[in-house]
C-alpha cells in the first residue's frame, strides 16, 4: 500500500511540472521504464501525465532545444516586429551569430568575419537595401486611383555635397606660382607644387591635378582646414591619386579618429578612401595630401569630403542678398577718409564647404569742374574677425564739354571668400572717398541724360562649392 501511495504522489508531481527544453516520459509502474508493456493495464494517471507533458510543451514551452539544427525554418514563419525584420537581426551577424556590430560597425575599416546563418544575412541585406531605397519610415500616399501603392513620402538617404573647396584644382593656380591659395596651404616645403593638365587617354577626362614633389622633406604637400565639422559624425575622405614615383597619402589631422591612406606605389591612378569621425564638440579637421618620402612624385585629383552620418541633413542651396540705393546725395563722400555708400548685405554660413561671391558698384560725381580722383572699396566683416578691405578701385572724374561739373564715375568692385568659417555672419559694405569734399552719390553728370538714374548697389551670393 505504501509503495502505491509513493508512486501516485510521483505521478501527480510529474503532471504538475512546467517543462522547458527537451523532456522525457515518466516511468510506468507496470514496466519500470518509460514505455507501456503488453498485459499490464495502463494507469489513467500515467497516460494523462504523458499527454499533459506533451501539451504543456507544445503550448508555450517550445524553445531552441526542441528545434533540430537542420530544421531550415523559413523567416516567413518566424515572428517579425521591426520594419519587416526582427530587431535582433537587423545588424550584421558574425560567425558566432552574435551581432557583428560588436566586432565592427558598418562604415569602419576593421575586419569582420563571415556569417554562418546565410538566411539571416540575406534578410539583413534585403532590409538595408529597402531602407536605402525608400527609407525606414516610408509612408505610402494614395493616388487619384484610390490605391496606396503608387506614391510615397520617404526619408531616403541624403549625401550632402563635397565640403572641400577646389578639390579638382580647377580654380586659379596660385599654388603653382609659389603662394598659398585656391583653398589649399602648404605642408613643409615641397620642391615642386604645380597644377598640371590631366591626360585624357588615362581615363580621367579633362581638368587639372595637383603635382607634389619634394627632394628633401618627407610628408610634404598641401592641406585644407574644414572649420567646425559636426560633432560625433562620420565623414568620408576620398581622392584620386597617381604615384609616379614612390608613395602618396591622403589623411586627416584633428579628428577624433584620424586616418592615413597610402598608395601602393603602382605608378597608376588609384582611388584612396577612408572614413574619420569627429569628437564630441564641433571640430576643425585638416585634410592632407602628401608625398610620403623625399623624392616621391605624387598627383592628386577629385578630392572630396562627404558627411555619411546615419541621419544627415541636406545642405542648403544658394543664398542671394542684394541692396541698392538711388537717392542722390550732394557732397556725400568726404576727402581723406572713406564714407559708407549706404548699401549693405549679410549672409550666415551654415556649414563648411561654402563660397561667397560679392559684386558691387558705387556711382558718384564730382561737383568740381576740375578732374578729380574717386576711390572705392569693398569691406568684409565675418563674425569676430577684424574688418578687412577687399578690392579698392580708383577712377578719374574728368570735366566734359567745359561745364562746371565733371562726369559721373562708376567704380565696380569684386570679392570672393572661398572658405568662410561655418556659423559666422559675413557683412559686406561699400565705401568711397574723393580728392575733395564735393563728390556726390548718385548725382547726374553734366553730359548724362536726365532719365538715367545712377544706382549704387551690392550683390552677394553664397553657395555650396561641391
Successive 10-residue mean pLDDT values, the chain, 466 residues:
43 46 76 79 82 80 77 63 46 45 42 54 68 52 46 45 84 64 84 84 77 86 89 88 92 91 86 88 91 91 81 67 89 87 92 88 78 84 68 56 57 86 89 81 60 80 83
Position 254 scores a pLDDT of 92
pLDDT at 216: 79
Element (H, E) at 128: helix 118-134
Q: Do domains 174-307 and 319-464 have the same CATH topology?
A: yes
Grid cell of 294 as nine digits: 623625399
- Cα separation, 434 vs 173, whole angstroms: 35
CA distance 400 to 368: 11
Q: Report the alpha-carbon distance of residue 52 to residue 30 in Å, rounded.
A: 20
Give residue limits of the domains in the chain.
2-64, 85-153, 174-307, 319-464
> What is the model's pLDDT at position 309?
58
Determine the pLDDT at residue 289: 95
CATH number for the domain formed by residue range(s) 174-307: 2.60.120.260
Give, in order, the Cα–Cα distances in Å from 284 to each of 296, 351, 389, 419.
28, 12, 26, 13
| pLDDT given at position 345 | 94
Predicted pLDDT of residue 180:
66
Q: Which of 347, 319, 350 is nearest to 228 (CA)?
A: 350
User: Is domain 319-464 in CATH 1.10.357.10, yes or no?
Assistant: no
Contact 107, 308 (CB under 8 A): yes
Amino acid at each position: 500500500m505504501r509503495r502505491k501511495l509513493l508512486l501516485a504522489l510521483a505521478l501527480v508531481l510529474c503532471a504538475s511540472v512546467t517543462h522547458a527544453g527537451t523532456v522525457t516520459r515518466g516511468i510506468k509502474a507496470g514496466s519500470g521504464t518509460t514505455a507501456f508493456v503488453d498485459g499490464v493495464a495502463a494507469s489513467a494517471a500515467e497516460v494523462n501525465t504523458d499527454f499533459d507533458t506533451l501539451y504543456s510543451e507544445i503550448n508555450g514551452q517550445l524553445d531552441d532545444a526542441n528545434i533540430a539544427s537542420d530544421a531550415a525554418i523559413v523567416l516567413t514563419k518566424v515572428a517579425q516586429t521591426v520594419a519587416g525584420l526582427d530587431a535582433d537581426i537587423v545588424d550584421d551577424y558574425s560567425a558566432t551569430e552574435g551581432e557583428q556590430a560588436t566586432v565592427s560597425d558598418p562604415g569602419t575599416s576593421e575586419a569582420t568575419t563571415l556569417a554562418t546563418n546565410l538566411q539571416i544575412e540575406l534578410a539583413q541585406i534585403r532590409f538595408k537595401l529597402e531602407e536605402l531605397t525608400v527609407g525606414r519610415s516610408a509612408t505610402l500616399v494614395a493616388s487619384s486611383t484610390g490605391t496606396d501603392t503608387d506614391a510615397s513620402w520617404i526619408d531616403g538617404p541624403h549625401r550632402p555635397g563635397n565640403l572641400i573647396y577646389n578639390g579638382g584644382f580647377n580654380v586659379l593656380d596660385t599654388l603653382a606660382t609659389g603662394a598659398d591659395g585656391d583653398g589649399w596651404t602648404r605642408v613643409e616645403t615641397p620642391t615642386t607644387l604645380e597644377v598640371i593638365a590631366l591626360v585624357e587617354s588615362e581615363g580621367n577626362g579633362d581638368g587639372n591635378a595637383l603635382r607634389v614633389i619634394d627632394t628633401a622633406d618627407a610628408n610634404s604637400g598641401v592641406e585644407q582646414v574644414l572649420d567646425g565639422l559636426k560633432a560625433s559624425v562620420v565623414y568620408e575622405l576620398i581622392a584620386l591619386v597617381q604615384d609616379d614615383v614612390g608613395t602618396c597619402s591622403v589623411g586627416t589631422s584633428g579628428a577624433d579618429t584620424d586616418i592615413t591612406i597610402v598608395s601602393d606605389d603602382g605608378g597608376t591612378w588609384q582611388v584612396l578612401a577612408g572614413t574619420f569621425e569627429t569628437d564630441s564638440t564641433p571640430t576643425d579637421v585638416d585634410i592632407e595630401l602628401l608625398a610620403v618620402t623625399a623624392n616621391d612624385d605624387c598627383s592628386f585629383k577629385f578630392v572630396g569630403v562627404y558627411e555619411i552620418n546615419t541621419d544627415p541633413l541636406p545642405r542648403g542651396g544658394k543664398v542671394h542678398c542684394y541692396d541698392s540705393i538711388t537717392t542722390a546725395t550732394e557732397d556725400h563722400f568726404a576727402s581723406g577718409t572713406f564714407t559708407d555708400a549706404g548699401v549693405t548685405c549679410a549672409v550666415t554660413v551654415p556649414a563648411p564647404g561654402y563660397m561667397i561671391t560679392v559684386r558691387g558698384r558705387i556711382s558718384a560725381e564730382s561737383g568740381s569742374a576740375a578732374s578729380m580722383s574717386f576711390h572705392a572699396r569693398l569691406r568684409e566683416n565675418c563674425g569676430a574677425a577684424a574688418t578687412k578691405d577687399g578690392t579698392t578701385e580708383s577712377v578719374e572724374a574728368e570735366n566734359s564739354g567745359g561745364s562746371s561739373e565733371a562726369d559721373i564715375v562708376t567704380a565696380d568692385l569684386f570679392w570672393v571668400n572661398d572658405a568662410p568659417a561655418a556659423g559666422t555672419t559675413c557683412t559686406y559694405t561699400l565705401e568711397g572717398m574723393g580728392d575733395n569734399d564735393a563728390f556726390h552719390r548718385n548725382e547726374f553728370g553734366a553730359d548724362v541724360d536726365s532719365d538715367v538714374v545712377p544706382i549704387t548697389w551690392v550683390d552677394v551670393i553664397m553657395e555650396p562649392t561641391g
